[in-house]
């Protein structure tokens, strides 16, 4: 893709004319398709998909580019061919009836044909010309032309005639695909086709550690640059698709949207309240630390928001996952029914790494999810060698980022603490944006689950180890319980809580007692005050009586004086 | 090939289909050589049908013609197919069982 961009940037430059193959991915690595009007050789061993690739080239040419084609088969009769590709959804009979396709089966039986004297392959040329003219074909496939060599004796004539055939095809201006069996030392048995073809593609079918992977490589392409690597390809119910994964670059758009983790309480551990959209999250932990549950929580949360989600379960079947999540009160079935959630289960060893990647890519293309969950990614890692795994993970993550998909991976750690981080973590951890670890905290005869954030690119996050419990209502992140020796979990947490409660109650009682005492004292005081007041009042009264008496006496004596 | 086993088999009459392509040198040779052989070994007891596939292209498909020239002996007995300009007379005779 990089080169393709350069080409378009300098648009005034000559662009080699190409015929798009219509095969997913192949046009990208060939930068536009096969050389237009020239022969292309596709070679490889038995059963590596040569016939299918060439057939798909023809059919896509008809259906997508309206370029009629001719398929000249030297190996399979026309009917067999129709039947073989029917399972891949290609209806040859219809195309034939529509006058878009001619299939000509050329039968050369050694036992039936004798040779006496000079001959040429004009018969073949004329048949081909006839077929081309019938449908005005611009695409031609010859599959597998070298069968002629096993059917006929005179190799010298054949070689000369094949050479002439290639030139003839070029003159005709048709884009031809010739298939060939792989030879011992050469790309083809005769060692001829690769020299006269303008483009040579080798297909390969390899088995490494009991896992087979199909690969494709462009050996030569006259007059054009092309991807040189080996690219894995997949044959599935839609035919062939090639994955040009290494062409991706690190210039994807970034989003600052926040998506919730779905786990109550976990959001608050992140300064922004969740994960960034389009970021990669790793949940690592040992066995039984509720990684899958956290992943399912995330999936459910996304579904609730109406986001399309794909859940790859490499350990459980979809039904099992749904059932298990039901036990903690989560209804995933609802979202499966509504089409928001897809759960895909397969054994990781079913396919090679690349094929898993290809499948994922296809799914992204078809389903267009915004969230992808892979549970666990460490199982994929068991499939390949370290180097393969690493490159695949880089591709995987790049691919997800490229599509702005929020991805959550879980990773199973080995139980031993010393050799941390193990391969899975090591390969993934530098690639992911957010890394949450769940772990066992063992002590005093019990096992508790703790969760902490190892890293979170581009946002502040809590440094605490939070204990969480899983109940019938789901995950619950507990508040921090501080003890004299740090954070407490499990029974210690409970004991501490109980102790605290007892102390609190005692304190309360003490307080109440004091209150009551004060009240009593106040009452006493008030009573005293009342008594004193009374006393004072009586004294005051006495005094006033005394005063009154005195005043009376004075008045009396004054009166007496006046009378005298 | 379709009319491979027909009634003329008993009479021993030889029937040939010779596929040629236009005026090519090899085609010319093949016609010449076939006539020579028939005149010598099957005087009056043969029938040759020459088919020019450059004009009648359907026939090339119908008879599964790859090489040119090709001779198909349709009768008598089992059909035989010979590819080449028939210059190797001895081989041709052996194949045709003459």
What are chain B's domains?
Answer: 14-96 (3.40.30.10)
Predicted confidence band of residue A26 (pLDDT cuts 50, 70, 90): confident
Classified as helix, coil or strand, A385 is coil
pLDDT of A495 over the 50 cut: yes
What pLDDT does residue B9 have? 41
- Does a structural domain hold residue A509? no
Is A185 an interface residue toward B (CB < 8 Å)?
no
Q: pLDDT for A201-255, tens place per residue? A: 999 888 776 667 788 999 999 888 887 788 888 887 778 888 765 544 556 667 7
Are residues A273 and A230 part of one domain?
no
What pLDDT does residue B10 have? 45
Are residues A226 and A373 part of one domain?
no
Are residues A197 and A112 part of one domain?
yes
Q: Are A295 and A373 in contact (CB under 8 A)?
A: yes
What pLDDT does residue A423 have? 56
Which residues make Cβ contacts (< 8 Å) with residue B45, sequence separation at least 6? Answer: B12, B13, B14
C-alpha–C-alpha distance, residues A200 and A222, integer Å: 9
Of A426, A451, A480, the residue that ends a domain is: A480
Residue A350 DSSP class? G
Please state, in angstroms and as integers, the Cα–Cα distance from residue A486 to each residue in A438, A478, A543, following that order.
19, 15, 75
Residues of A in contact with B70 (CB under 8 A): 119, 123
CA triple B2-A134-B66, angle to 5 deg: 45
Are residues A266 and A240 part of one domain?
no
Of A458, A480, A502, the residue that ends a domain is: A480
Per-residue burial over A104-142, b if 16 or more Cβ lie within 10 Å, else e, is bbbebeeeebbbbbbbbbbbbbbbbbbbbeebebbbbbb
Choose, from A76, A93, A230, A315, the residue flagged as catalytic. Answer: A315
Q: Are A413 and A293 in contact (CB under 8 A)?
A: no
Is A119 an interface residue toward B (CB < 8 Å)?
yes
pLDDT of A271 over the 60 cut: yes
Higher pLDDT, A159 or B23: A159
Are residues A239 and A276 part of one domain?
no
Mean pLDDT of A74-84: 88
- Does a structural domain hold residue A418? yes
What pLDDT does residue A103 have? 92
Are residues A68 and A37 part of one domain?
yes
Alpha helices in A87-221 (DSSP H): 92-97, 122-135, 147-151, 155-172, 193-196
Both tokens assigned to A129: 């010309």
Poorest-pLDDT segment among A116-130, A214-228, A350-364, B22-36: A350-364
Q: Are B72 and A113 in contact (CB under 8 A)?
A: no
- Does a structural domain hold residue A306? yes
Poorest-pLDDT segment among A91-100, A226-235, A316-325, B19-28: A226-235
Please state, in angstroms and as integers, the Cα–Cα distance from residue A43 to each residue in A23, A48, A142, A163, A405, following that order.
17, 9, 12, 17, 37
Both tokens assigned to A39: 């022969």
| CATH code (residue A363) | 3.40.50.300
Q: pLDDT for A138-149, tens place per residue? A: 999 998 888 888
Q: Are A348 and A383 in contact (CB under 8 A)?
A: yes
Nearest to B82 among A104, A114, A123 (CB): A114
What pLDDT does residue A382 have? 66
Count the neighbouring beta carbons within 10 Å of the beta carbon of residue A48: 23
- Does a structural domain hold residue A320? yes
Are residues A85 and A201 part of one domain?
yes
Count the neighbouring beta carbons within 10 Å of the beta carbon of residue A89: 10
What pLDDT does residue A312 have? 87
Which residues make Cβ contacts (< 8 Å) with residue B16, sequence separation at least 6? Answer: B34, B38, B46, B47, B48, B49, B71, B72, B73, B74
Query: A340, A408, A328: which is closest to A376 by C-alpha?
Result: A408
- Does a structural domain hold residue A176? yes
Query: A89, A86, A87, A53: which is closest to A71 by C-alpha?
Result: A53
pLDDT of A358 over the 80 cut: no
pLDDT, averaged across chain B:
83
What pLDDT does residue A3 have? 43
Is B9 an interface residue toward A (CB < 8 Å)?
no
- DSSP bridge pairs for A276: A258
C-alpha–C-alpha distance, residues A55 and A51, integer Å: 6
Query: A292, A281, A302: which is closest to A327 by C-alpha?
Result: A292
Binary contact (B29, A126; C-beta < 8 A):
no
Are residues A364 and A468 part of one domain?
yes
Count the neighbouring beta carbons within 10 Å of the beta carbon of residue A497: 12
Q: pLDDT for A427-466, tens place per residue? A: 677 778 888 888 887 776 778 888 888 888 888 888 888 8
What pLDDT does residue A523 have? 95
For B30, phi then psi, to 5°, come to -60, -45
- DSSP bridge pairs for A42: A179, A201
Query: A168, A157, A107: which is closest to B84 by C-alpha?
Result: A157
Residues of A in contact with B88 (CB under 8 A): 116-117
Are residues A180 and A299 part of one domain?
no
Residues of B in contact with A153 (CB under 8 A): none
Predicted confidence band of residue A530 (pLDDT cuts 50, 70, 90): very high
Predicted confidence band of residue A4 (pLDDT cuts 50, 70, 90): very low
Which residues make Cβ contacts (< 8 Å) with residue A185, sequence separation at least 6? Answer: A191
Q: With pLDDT > 90 as the criterion, what percentage of chain A qualifies?
A: 29
Higher pLDDT, A185 or B59: B59
- Catalytic residue at A171? no
Predicted confidence band of residue B2 (pLDDT cuts 50, 70, 90): very low
Are residues A279 and A230 part of one domain?
no
Classified as helix, coil or strand, A20 is coil
pLDDT of A554 over the 70 cut: yes
Mean pLDDT of A483-504: 80
- Catalytic residue at A425? no
For chain A, how many structural domains are there in total?
2
Mean pLDDT of B74-88: 87
- Does a structural domain hold residue A224? yes
Residues of B in contact with A104 (CB under 8 A): 61
C-alpha–C-alpha distance, residues A232 and A204, integer Å: 9
Are residues A187 and A327 part of one domain?
no
pLDDT of A68 over the 90 cut: yes
Is A148 an interface residue toward B (CB < 8 Å)?
yes
Q: pLDDT for A183-200, tens place per residue? A: 777 788 777 888 888 999
A504, containing H or E segment: helix A490-563
Binary contact (B60, A123; C-beta < 8 A):
yes
pLDDT, averaged across chain A:
84
Binary contact (A123, B68; C-beta < 8 A):
yes
Surface of B (33-62) touching A: CB under 8 A: 33, 53-54, 57-58, 60-61
Q: pLDDT for A366-380, tens place per residue? A: 888 999 998 888 777
- Does a structural domain hold residue A151? yes
How many helices and strands in chain B, by DSSP H and E? 4, 4
Of A437, A452, A480, the residue that ends a domain is: A480
Is A153 an interface residue toward B (CB < 8 Å)?
no
Q: pLDDT for A100-136, tens place per residue? A: 999 999 988 888 888 888 899 989 999 999 999 999 9
Are residues A418 and A283 part of one domain?
yes
C-alpha–C-alpha distance, residues B44 and B86, integer Å: 20
- Does a structural domain hold residue A511? no
Predicted confidence band of residue B7 (pLDDT cuts 50, 70, 90): very low
- Count how many pairs of residues, chain A against chain B, have C-beta atoms within 8 Å: 93
Is A130 an interface residue toward B (CB < 8 Å)?
yes
Q: With pLDDT > 90 as the criterion, what percentage of chain B qualifies?
A: 23
Domain range for A471 is 258-480
C-alpha–C-alpha distance, residues A333 and A294, integer Å: 17
Which residues make Cβ contacts (< 8 Å) with residue A307, sequence separation at least 6? Answer: A259, A340, A369, A370, A371
Q: Taking every pair of C-alpha atoms in chain B, what is the biggest distance, in angstroms?
A: 35
| Residue of A103, A104, A111, A116 best to disrupt the B interface, most CBs of B under 10 A | A116
What pLDDT does residue A521 have? 94
What pLDDT does residue A498 have? 87
C-alpha–C-alpha distance, residues A231 and A388, integer Å: 13
A423: distance to nearest CA of chain B, Å? Answer: 60
Binary contact (B61, A116; C-beta < 8 A):
no
């Amino acid at each position: 893709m990089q080169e393709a961009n350069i080409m378009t940037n300098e648009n005034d430059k000559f662009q080699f004319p190409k015929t798009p193959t219509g095969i997913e991915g192949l046009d990208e690595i060939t930068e536009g398709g096969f050389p237009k009007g020239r022969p292309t050789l596709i070679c490889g061993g038995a059963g590596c998909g040569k016939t299918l690739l060439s057939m798909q080239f023809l059919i896509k040419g008809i259906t997508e580019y309206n370029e009629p084609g001719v398929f000249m088969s030297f190996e399979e009769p026309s009917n067999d061919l129709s039947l073989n590709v029917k399972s891949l959804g290609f209806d040859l009979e219809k195309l034939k009836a529509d006058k878009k396709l001619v299939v000509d089966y050329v039968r050369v039986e050694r036992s039936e044909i004798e040779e006496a004297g000079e001959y040429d392959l004009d018969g073949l040329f004329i048949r081909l010309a006839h077929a081309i003219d019938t449908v005005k074909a611009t695409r031609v496939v010859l599959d597998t032309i070298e069968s002629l060599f096993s059917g006929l004796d005179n190799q010298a004539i054949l070689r000369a005639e094949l050479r002439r055939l290639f030139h003839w095809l070029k003159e005709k201006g048709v884009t031809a695909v010739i298939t060939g069996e792989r030879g011992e030392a050469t790309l083809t048995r005769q060692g001829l086709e690769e020299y006269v073809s303008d483009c040579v593609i080798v297909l390969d079918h390899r088995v490494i550690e009991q896992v087979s992977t199909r690969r494709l490589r462009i050996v030569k392409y006259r007059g054009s640059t092309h991807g040189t690597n080996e690219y894995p390809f997949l044959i599935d119910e839609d035919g062939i698709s090639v994955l040009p994964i290494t062409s991706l670059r690190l210039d994807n758009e970034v989003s600052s949207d926040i998506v919730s983790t779905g786990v109550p309480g976990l959001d608050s551990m992140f300064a922004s309240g969740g994960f960034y959209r389009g970021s990669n999250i790793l949940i690592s932990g040992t066995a039984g630390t509720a990684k899958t549950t956290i992943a399912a929580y995330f999936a459910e949360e996304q579904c609730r928001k109406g986001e399309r989600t794909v859940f790859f379960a490499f350990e459980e079947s979809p039904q099992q996952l749904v059932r298990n999540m039901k036990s903690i009160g989560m209804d995933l079935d609802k979202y499966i029914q509504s089409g928001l959630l897809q759960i895909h289960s397969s054994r990781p060893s079913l396919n090679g790494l690349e094929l898993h990647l290809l499948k994922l890519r296809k799914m992204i293309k078809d389903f267009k999810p915004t969230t992808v969950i892979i549970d666990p990614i460490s199982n994929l890692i068991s499939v390949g060698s370290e180097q393969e795994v690493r490159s695949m993970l880089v591709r995987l993550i790049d691919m997800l980022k490229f599509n702005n998909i929020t991805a959550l991976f879980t990773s199973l750690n080995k139980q031993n603490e010393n050799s941390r981080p193990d391969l899975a973590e090591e390969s993934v951890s530098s690639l992911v944006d957010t890394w949450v670890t769940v772990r066992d905290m063992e002590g005093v005869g019990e096992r508790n689950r703790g969760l902490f954030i190892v890293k979170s690119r581009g946002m502040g996050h809590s440094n605490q180890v939070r204990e969480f419990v899983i109940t019938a209502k789901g995950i619950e992140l507990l508040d921090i319980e501080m003890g004299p020796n740090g954070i407490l979990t499990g029974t210690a947490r409970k004991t501490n809580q109980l102790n605290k409660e007892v102390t609190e109650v005692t304190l309360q009682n003490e307080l109440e007692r004091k209150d009551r005492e004060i009240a009593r004292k106040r009452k006493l005081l008030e009573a005293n005050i009342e008594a004193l007041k009374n006393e004072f009042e009586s004294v005051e009264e006495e005094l006033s009586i005394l005063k009154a008496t005195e005043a009376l006496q004075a008045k009396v004596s004054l009166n007496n004086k006046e009378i005298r | 090939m379709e009319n491979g086993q027909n009634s003329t088999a008993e009479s021993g009459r030889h029937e040939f289909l010779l596929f040629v392509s236009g005026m090519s040198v090899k085609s010319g040779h093949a016609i010449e050589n076939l006539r020579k052989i028939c005149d010598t070994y099957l005087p009056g007891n043969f029938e040759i049908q020459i088919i020019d596939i450059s004009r009648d292209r359907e026939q090339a498909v119908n008879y599964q013609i790859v090489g040119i020239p090709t001779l198909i002996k349709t009768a008598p007995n089992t059909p035989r197919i010979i590819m080449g300009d028939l210059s190797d007379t001895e081989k041709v005779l052996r194949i045709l069982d003459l």
